[in-house]
Amino acid sequence: MGDYFRDIYLAVRTILTGMRITLRYCFARTITVQYPDVAPTLQPRFRGIHWFEIEKCIACDLCAKACPVDCIYIEKTAPRKIDKETGVAMGGALVRYAIDYSKCMFCALCVEPCPTDCIHMGNVHDLSGYDRRSMIVEFTELARQGLQTPQPIWMLKGRLPPWAREMKQDWVERGRPRREQMALALTEQKPAPKRPATAEPSGETGRPAAGGPEAAGAGA
């Protein structure tokens, strides 16, 4: 009997708590942000359009399997794996990596399982388009242009406010240092041949030189 009344009390209390918050916002002063002249305030953990390090992607499909709405599309020609020497994925070509943003919920569930930490939630907050097809971002096509994240339409404007110029610069520069590796991800690559762990025996013991096997195993 006690549980019965306690449940009623908890239900009423939680409804009143929710209503109190709702009512507070009903009577709060309305603030209009003059976007795009004024930068929108993005919280530190904001989850925007992804940015993708294609050169580290091994096309393992874990992100696609974790996606609750099946909006990640991946195609490869053969298995890919990280080359320990360079930290770049080698093997088959990544033919397609695309995300359909007309379905994406920005839940970040695709980011967590990625074994190579190559897919991230970004800070681009809008992706306007004129049809549904334009909501599908082909990250492999972007990689051909040396880009890791799509370009929002507002970036095409000739005169941008200072905050937007800064964001555009960041957008352009982000993939620049890794353009070559990004291009390699789109083609078939043979991993570099493994160096024999005991290539240089040291001294009379015939053991590998210091740092031999350890060095060969490092850099994953």
Minimum CB distance to ligand SF4, residue 209 (Å): 34
Tokens 């000739």: give the residue: 158
Q: Tell the smallest beta-carbon distance from residue 147 to ligand SF4 (Å).
A: 16
Give the angle 82-216-190 at the CA atoms, nearest 5°.
40
- Backbone Cα Rg of the chain: 25
> Considering the complex, what minimum distance in angstroms separates the CB of residue 64 from ligand SF4?
7
Choice between 63 and 164, CB closer to ligand SF4: 63
Instruction: Compute the distance between CA of residue 174 and CA of residue 70 in angstroms, rounded to an integer.
Output: 27
Spatial distance between the Cα atoms of 153 and 164, rounded to a whole number of angstroms:
12
Q: Which residues bind to ligand SF4, rule: CB under 6 A? A: 57-63, 66-67, 69, 71-72, 74, 99, 104-110, 113-116, 118-119
DSSP-assigned letters across all residues of 8-61: HHHHHHHHHHHHHHHHHHHTSPP----TTTS-----TT--EEEEE-GGG-----
Can the peptide bond before residue 201 be classed as cis, meaning omega within 30 degrees of 0? no
User: Which of 118, 164 has the CB closer to ligand SF4?
Assistant: 118
Cα of first residue to Cα of last residue in the chain, in angstroms, is 61
Query: Token match 């939680």: residue?
Result: 14
Q: Measured from the CB atom, is 60 or 93 closer to ligand SF4?
A: 60
Q: Which residues pair with 98 in a beta bridge?
A: 73, 138
Task: Supply the minimum distance, in Å, between the C-beta of residue 168 and ligand SF4.
Answer: 24
Q: Toward ligand SF4, which CB reaches closer, 210 or 220? A: 220
- Decide whether 102 or 198 has the Cβ nearer to ligand SF4: 102
Closest CA to 150 of 181, 180, 178, 174: 174
Q: Which is nearer to ligand SF4, 120 or 212 (CB)?
A: 120
Report in angstroms how near the CB of residue 150 gets to ligand SF4 at its nearest.
Answer: 14
